[in-house]
A and B are shown apart, each in its own frame.
Chain A
Amino acid sequence: MPSGNVLSYIVPMRDHIQLQINSDILKIRGQDAFLTLSDFLRRRRGLVGTKIVCSEGDCGSCSVLCGVVGDSGMQYQPIDSCIRFMFQLDGVHIVTVEGLKQNGELSCVQQAMVDCHGSQCGFCTPGFVVAMTALQQNRPANQPASESELREGLTGNLCRCTGYSSILEAGAVAAEQSDSASLVPAFELSPDARRVPIEVTATCGDAKHRVYSPTTVAEAVDFLSRHSEAEVKIVAGATDLGVQFNKGHIAPSDWLDLNRVAELEKCEIEDGCMVFGARATWTDVLLLAESTVPELYQVMKVFGSPQIRHVGTIGGNIINASPIADSLPFLFVCDAELTITSASGERTVNINEFYSGYKQMDLTKGELLTSIRVPLPPANRNLRLYKVSRRHDMDISTFTGAVWMELDGEQIANVGIAYGAVGPTVLRLKQTEEFLRGKSFTIETMTAAGDVAVKEITPITDVRGRSDYRFQLARNVLKKYYYQIEQEESQSVA
């Protein structure tokens, strides 16, 4: 019997998730639902081709294909199976490296990896094969992936042996072949099954686990209001929570999973604003930004990896409240507006007012971030975004920044500056902005602005860089901005 909650009497609920792994259709209940996908594959299914190295989504060795029903049938994307929970996978088709052979023969990607010496020790190889297969799958026919697409498409996979050149060669050879792996989903959830919420529970020793997967925002906030006493972990992409779980930093007993809430997936331009549902993935955001805010596209293109961007969400980036979150300086200088929903209604808050300290924000129990509205930066704003990291791709930032200026001739008419990784929260540099307003746009002005900027920030020394490096970056980015705008103007004049 359901535990005294009224709704569950009225609305039928499912107590399991259903998915397909390679050719097997499975119903998952109980403890298995709380395993990571990689553990389930290796421990429960004996599919040990999927390797675990880092357990944090940084190496891609555990990559599998995740097929989700889209506009044109199943769309397959690579994901990191080590940071995906089974309960997040209702209705999907998972294809592991073992499922890629075609009629018992190697697929063209597999064959190309063999022929081009794309494997040495072989431990990362299943992940590369999977990621490369996804690139192949998602290309229009007769349009082989370019080298840059291959490189960008494989940033989520680390190899320590090959130096990657043989893998790139294999990718190029495979791209020339038309017969990519045919991945056949054998089942589809019924509309009813898709509509009803899922609640899976499990008892493990003394511990009880529960996950609730609603299909609407109303169900989600209702669940939160009914369980205000519990520590409910809200999860969307799990690209951070999955890591914390694997490393033993969190062990939640109650989960609210947003993966089935379609209304949170919005990602479109509306009234001169980018409007995102909280669960819009970075892949979706990039697609929108490419044509509307190229600057955002350029900086978010190196956010995580394809595996991370396919599941990581903009809402997660905001609610994770990290001062090094890559999207935040942009959202700050654009005065993004957040919509927060609870059982008692909706409210909005400017992101500049949202954070109050390290991982502290204006969000109470029972509230859910549901959407983000970002006014499109006008063309005359000269927006530039900065991300400095130890490695160009797939790295957490040492420093982030967003700068825009409206110039009136030589004069700075208006300005917005936000920096990340230089304090407990992302910071809007109001004094620096004030200093710059009305000044002439020269390198001397920008150098002097650096003196103001460093007084507004309090960077620390950590594993990603020393504080003096961050101070210097805070100065230099303003100078770099000057030369970027200068160079662009001289080019446009020429």
Chain B
Amino acid sequence: MPSVGKTIPHDSATGHVTGAAPYLDDMPLRNDELLVGFVGSPVASGKLKNIDCSAATAIPGIVAIYTSHDVPHNKFGALFHDEPVLAENELLYVGQPVAIIAAETPEALATARKLVKIDYEETKPILSIDESLTAKRFIGPLRKIQRGDATSAIKSATHQLSGEFRIGGQEQFYLESQAAIAFPGEEGQLIVHSSTQNTTEIQVVVAEVLELGQHQVVCICKRMGGAFGGKESQAAIPALMAAIVASKTGRAARVIYTKDEDMCVTGGRHPYLVRWQVGFDDAGLIQGLRYEFYSDGGAAADLSTAVMERTMLHAENAYYISDIEIQGQVCFTNYPPNTAFRGFGGPQAVAAMENVVERIAGHLGEDAYDIRTRNVYGVDDRNVTPYGQLFTRNHLPEIFESLAESSDYKRRREEIAAFNAVDPMQLRGIAMTPVKFGISFTSKFLNQANALVNVYTDGTVQVSTGGTEMGQGLNTKIRQLTADELGVPYEDVLVMPTSTEKSNNTSPTAASAGTDLNGAAAVDACRKIKTRLAEFAASLLASVEDGLVPSPDHIVFENGIVFDQRKPAAKLEFGNLADRARRERVDLGARGFYKTPGVDYNRETGRGNPFLYYTQGAAVSEVLIDRFTGEMSVPRVDLLMDIGKSINPGVDMGQIAGGFIQGMGWATMECLIYDEAGKLLSHSPTTYKIPAITDTPLEFNCAMFPNEDNIHNIRRSKAVGEPPLLLGVSAWAAVRHALSHLTDDSSELDLTLPATGEEILRCITSLTQNGQADS
């Protein structure tokens, strides 16, 4: 029975529920293993003058303390090599690693950390995008995407609006904090176990920093306890710390960040400042739109320019805008470098666009839904993106219509208006927002993957890819694809730990493309083996004596059985065939490869086809607000996603629901709070609030839009990891709708994101102080 298309539990589910699935810190300590921690910069900005480790070194149980002088090549970085492993001359953000301590016990480590003395001269930090703009401290060039003449189009439009929109950051809050264990090997070799989305990056960075050949470093990742982008590039520093200690001491070394450390020193989703200008006609049809996006990149480039690129490529969200100008600039600040986070710049673009739509609706006094349907991309025309890619297979108009109907949007909106007009205590709001998420890395070279498939003589199979399992169900799907391709039971296939020893030069498991790329590579490997086996089986299953010319084309692999479709009664068990094939010296292992066809984007010109296809969807959220405290809840959400033909509906539904709630958290709840010196105050779940179980809407209807037209992708599926997150913006838009009942012209209403209780009450207060609404 084929397994693709079936709801099969996560391939580690039994391990998860029994506690038997190990994560890095669950590995038993080796006898010689050292615990490694670090001492961070006490200030956001300064000149590092001296590091005194003498008192710390004297603590019994302290084996070594290393500073930048001990690091052979103290520079690394995902895109630019601009980040020191350990602070050298400059201190760049609070908590920036300055010294690494290797200790025999956690107690010694804790004591020693307090005794490392950092001598520095504090300098004035840059602690906001505005300060960075004033100081003109930027990372990377200003980028542009432009079509038509936005400035004139806005000018000649019937209506104009403009403003600034601020978007907050977000912490990934993967439950398993950053972790790495390094084991020294022979002749300078290292084996690094890392909780990373990118084994190749860890291998390369460790090799570069320790001045080893890449062939001397193996990076392995079995699973992560969540990642969400936070372990795409930023697993590097902890892995480097472990590797440096292992390499220098010749002992095993373990780095496990505490949650507080992790939140203080790693980056998250970029805060944005968006300046926008729009012109539109009486119907709300957008004539021209200008954007200036400024992101808070933090103190090093990390992946920020790529994140900004994705923002710019999603700036129009789901709408056709003939004349548009999009500018993007990453700003330097003295915070930890911001990095990948599920959505990768897309969510900020969607929020910015939906803010514009809401303002247009407010100005015209219309239902924002109608503005959306008028501006949405066309199916046969109005279907070219600002960067020149033809948007084919557009299902957005159907999704809008279908969801509006299933969610009873129009009727509920009327009911809500009536409720708000009379209820003195509460406000309600409702909004639909769409998503059109481009699938593929916008850097062409990353769109490749390889896989290793080994068939054993009992017919069981191991498959390894460069894809990493962070909970998203990648391994489950690869197991399904491999099993089906070889026609063997799902149980007979195992996905092995990700290792650079088996899969080299891999891309990060990111951009939602893990299954698309690695699944296709695994299938390619299976096909190679199948071709060889079919050739061999043909000679066993047909003979000229029986009137059949042996023909591999007629060999079928199904349910663990191999047969010639012309004579199905003669069957071979797959295991039996494999065993016999080996005896006849048929190669039962293969390496598969896949590269996404047809994608290319030129960031200099802002033109190209960066995406293979678009995952599409929309959500309707309803919110309930306490007029006196600003406290808000989301009682109902209806969500419809086009994710093609699902490989595993259970896994994919988990991605949809989980992604949405994470986006809702970003849009309505989660706040990174810093003090005036740039120190993070909200660095643990006590002070940083992600959605809890009671925040999940009481009525939460998630559905998949039936669609089998994605012919370019593996099994006609679509990527699902990131797109649902962007629908969290619907909850923010619903808050805006609720607040619009307190004013005649809500185009002026300035609701920032996230719409926290505090922000909502600020808006209520400013809208009602002029004698409106209550009393």
Which A residues are within 8 Å of any B CB, using their own CB?
46-51, 53-56, 58-59, 61, 96-98, 100-101, 106, 109-111, 113-115, 117-126, 129, 147, 151-152, 154-155, 157-168, 204-205, 243, 247-248, 386, 388, 390-396, 398-399, 443-444, 447, 462-466, 468-469, 472-473, 476-477, 479-480, 483-484, 486-487
Kindly identify, within residues 650 to 675 of chain B, every residue whose CB is under 8 Å from any CB belonging to chain A.
650-651, 653-654, 657-662, 669, 671, 673
CB-CB < 8 A to A480: which residues of B? 425, 626-629
Question: Once the chains bind, are A122 and B472 in contact (CB under 8 Å)?
Answer: no
Question: Once the chains bind, are A247 and B225 in contact (CB under 8 Å)?
Answer: no
Which of B170-178, B513-521, B522-530 sits within the interface? B170-178
Is B249 positioned at the interface, with any CB of A under 8 Å from its CB?
A: no
Question: Once the chains bind, are A391 and B425 in contact (CB under 8 Å)?
Answer: no
CB-CB < 8 A to A469: which residues of B? 758, 761-762
Known: A122-B225, A388-B631. A472 touches B473 (CB 8 A): no
Is B213 positioned at the interface, with any CB of A under 8 Å from its CB?
A: no
CB-CB < 8 A to A468: which residues of B? 762
Expressed in whole angstroms, the minimum distance between the Cβ of A303 and any Cβ of chain B is: 14
Known: A117-B654, A392-B694, A480-B629. A160 touches B14 (CB 8 A): no
Expressed in whole angstroms, the minimum distance between the Cβ of A457 and any Cβ of chain B is: 16
Enumerate 7 A-B pairs (CB-CB under 8 Å) in ascending A order: A56-B685, A110-B18, A120-B472, A120-B473, A395-B689, A468-B762, A479-B775
Expressed in whole angstroms, the minimum distance between the Cβ of A27 and any Cβ of chain B is: 23
How many residues on chain B are close to A (CB under 8 Å)? Answer: 86
- Please name 7 further chain A to chain B contacts, defined as beta carbons within 8 Å, in addition to the given A53-B259, A56-B685, A394-B692, sorted by A numbering: A61-B175, A122-B13, A123-B176, A161-B226, A166-B654, A393-B694, A476-B629
Question: Once the chains bind, are A98 and B19 in contact (CB under 8 Å)?
Answer: yes
Is B756 positioned at the interface, with any CB of A under 8 Å from its CB?
A: yes
Once bound together, how far apart are the Cα atoms of A152 and B693, in whole Å?
8
Known: A101-B18, A483-B425. A160 touches B472 (CB 8 A): no
Question: Once the chains bind, are B651 and A117 in contact (CB under 8 Å)?
Answer: yes
Question: Once the chains bind, are B661 and A129 in contact (CB under 8 Å)?
Answer: no
Question: Once the chains bind, are A51 and B225 in contact (CB under 8 Å)?
Answer: yes
Question: Once the chains bind, are B175 and A59 in contact (CB under 8 Å)?
Answer: yes
Expressed in whole angstroms, the minimum distance between the Cβ of B256 and any Cβ of chain A is: 9
Expressed in whole angstroms, the minimum distance between the Cβ of B662 and any Cβ of chain A is: 7
Question: Once the chains bind, are B23 and A51 in contact (CB under 8 Å)?
Answer: yes
CB-CB < 8 A to A101: which residues of B? 18
CB-CB < 8 A to B685: which residues of A? 53-54, 56, 58-59, 158
Closest residue of chain A to B724 (Cβ to Cβ) is A163
Known: A106-B17, A165-B696. A473 touches B175 (CB 8 A): no
CB-CB < 8 A to A168: which residues of B? 693, 696
Once bound together, how far apart are the Cα atoms of A266 and B684, in whole Å?
34
CB-CB < 8 A to B682: which residues of A? 463
Once bound together, how far apart are the Cα atoms of A61 and B685, in whole Å?
12
CB-CB < 8 A to B177: which residues of A? 53
Is B408 positioned at the interface, with any CB of A under 8 Å from its CB?
A: no
Known: A46-B28, A390-B757. A54 touches B684 (CB 8 A): yes
B1-25 Cβ-contact flags toward A at 8 Å (1 or 0): 0000001011011111111111101
Kindly identify, within residues 20 to 78 of chain B, every residue whose CB is under 8 Å from any CB belonging to chain A.
20-23, 25-26, 28, 60
CB-CB < 8 A to B470: which residues of A? 121
Closest residue of chain B to A163 (Cβ to Cβ) is B661
- Minimum-distance CB pairs A-B, first 8: A49-B19, A121-B471, A123-B225, A122-B16, A163-B661, A120-B471, A97-B19, A480-B628
Question: Once the chains bind, are B694 and A155 in contact (CB under 8 Å)?
Answer: yes
Q: Identify which of B13, B629, B633, B702 contacts A114 (C-beta below 8 A).
A: B13
Expressed in whole angstroms, the minimum distance between the Cβ of A199 and any Cβ of chain B is: 23
Question: Once the chains bind, are B687 and A157 in contact (CB under 8 Å)?
Answer: no
B322-349 Cβ-contact flags toward A at 8 Å (1 or 0): 0000000000000000000000000000
CB-CB < 8 A to A159: which residues of B? 175, 693
Is B424 positioned at the interface, with any CB of A under 8 Å from its CB?
A: yes
Question: Once the chains bind, are B9 and A117 in contact (CB under 8 Å)?
Answer: yes
Is B536 positioned at the interface, with any CB of A under 8 Å from its CB?
A: no
Question: Once the chains bind, are B258 and A392 in contact (CB under 8 Å)?
Answer: no
Expressed in whole angstroms, the minimum distance between the Cβ of B260 and any Cβ of chain A is: 7
Known: A121-B223, A123-B176, A167-B693. A114 touches B228 (CB 8 A): no
Question: Once the chains bind, are A443 and B687 in contact (CB under 8 Å)?
Answer: no
Once bound together, how far apart are the Cα atoms of A54 and B427, in whole Å?
35
Known: A53-B259, A168-B696. A120 touches B658 (CB 8 A): yes
Question: Once the chains bind, are A483 and B223 in contact (CB under 8 Å)?
Answer: no
Q: Identify which of A47, A158, A479 contacts B628 (C-beta below 8 A).
A: A479
Question: Once the chains bind, are B228 and A160 in contact (CB under 8 Å)?
Answer: yes
Question: Once the chains bind, are A476 and B258 in contact (CB under 8 Å)?
Answer: no
Is B510 positioned at the interface, with any CB of A under 8 Å from its CB?
A: no
CB-CB < 8 A to B223: which residues of A? 121-122
CB-CB < 8 A to A56: which residues of B? 684-686
- Give the interface SS of chain B, mostly helix, strand, loop or mixed: loop
Q: Identify which of B7, B18, B662 contacts A100 (C-beta below 8 A).
A: B18
Once bound together, how far apart are the Cα atoms of A117 and B7, in whole Å?
9
CB-CB < 8 A to B7: which residues of A? 117
CB-CB < 8 A to B15: which residues of A? 122
Once bound together, how far apart are the Cα atoms of A399 and B686, in whole Å?
15
Closest residue of chain B to A100 (Cβ to Cβ) is B18
Is B745 positioned at the interface, with any CB of A under 8 Å from its CB?
A: no
Question: Once the chains bind, are A154 and B17 in contact (CB under 8 Å)?
Answer: no
Question: Once the chains bind, are B14 and A473 in contact (CB under 8 Å)?
Answer: no
Is B224 positioned at the interface, with any CB of A under 8 Å from its CB?
A: yes
Question: Once the chains bind, are B700 and A58 in contact (CB under 8 Å)?
Answer: no
Question: Once the chains bind, are A158 and B629 in contact (CB under 8 Å)?
Answer: no
Known: A115-B9, A125-B17. A163 touches B657 (CB 8 A): yes
Question: Once the chains bind, are B425 and A487 in contact (CB under 8 Å)?
Answer: yes
CB-CB < 8 A to A47: which residues of B? 19
Known: A120-B10, A122-B12, A155-B693. A160 touches B657 (CB 8 A): no
Expressed in whole angstroms, the minimum distance between the Cβ of A344 and any Cβ of chain B is: 39
CB-CB < 8 A to B18: which residues of A? 49, 97-98, 100-101, 106, 110
Is B695 positioned at the interface, with any CB of A under 8 Å from its CB?
A: yes
Expressed in whole angstroms, the minimum distance between the Cβ of B26 and any Cβ of chain A is: 4
CB-CB < 8 A to A46: which residues of B? 28
Expressed in whole angstroms, the minimum distance between the Cβ of A127 and any Cβ of chain B is: 9
Known: A121-B224, A388-B631. A465 touches B175 (CB 8 A): no
CB-CB < 8 A to B689: which residues of A? 390-391, 395
Kindly identify, within residues 753 to 773 of chain B, every residue whose CB is under 8 Å from any CB belonging to chain A.
756-758, 761-762, 765
Question: Once the chains bind, are A120 and B28 in contact (CB under 8 Å)?
Answer: no
Question: Once the chains bind, are B762 and A160 in contact (CB under 8 Å)?
Answer: no
Closest residue of chain B to A150 (Cβ to Cβ) is B693
CB-CB < 8 A to A126: which residues of B? 16-17, 19
Expressed in whole angstroms, the minimum distance between the Cβ of A478 and any Cβ of chain B is: 9
Expressed in whole angstroms, the minimum distance between the Cβ of B768 and any Cβ of chain A is: 10
CB-CB < 8 A to B283: which residues of A? none
CB-CB < 8 A to A487: which residues of B? 424-425
Q: Identify which of B16, B22, B258, B669 contacts A119 (C-beta below 8 A).
A: B16
Question: Once the chains bind, are A113 and B692 in contact (CB under 8 Å)?
Answer: no
Question: Once the chains bind, are B686 and A54 in contact (CB under 8 Å)?
Answer: yes
Expressed in whole angstroms, the minimum distance between the Cβ of B513 and any Cβ of chain A is: 18
Question: Once the chains bind, are A483 and B758 in contact (CB under 8 Å)?
Answer: no
> Residue among B224, B471, B671, B762 with the most chain A CB within 10 A?
B471
CB-CB < 8 A to B650: which residues of A? 117
CB-CB < 8 A to A390: which residues of B? 669, 671, 689, 756-758
> Residue among A53, A111, A386, A479 with the most chain B CB within 10 A?
A53
Once bound together, how far apart are the Cα atoms of A167 and B653, in whole Å?
12
Once bound together, how far apart are the Cα atoms of A113 and B16, in whole Å?
9
Question: Once the chains bind, are B692 and A392 in contact (CB under 8 Å)?
Answer: yes
Question: Once the chains bind, are A129 and B692 in contact (CB under 8 Å)?
Answer: no
Known: A113-B17, A117-B10, A151-B693. A160 touches B684 (CB 8 A): no
Expressed in whole angstroms, the minimum distance between the Cβ of A97 and any Cβ of chain B is: 4
Expressed in whole angstroms, the minimum distance between the Cβ of A169 and any Cβ of chain B is: 10
Known: A56-B686, A158-B175, A477-B629. A463 touches B26 (CB 8 A): no
Closest residue of chain B to A113 (Cβ to Cβ) is B17
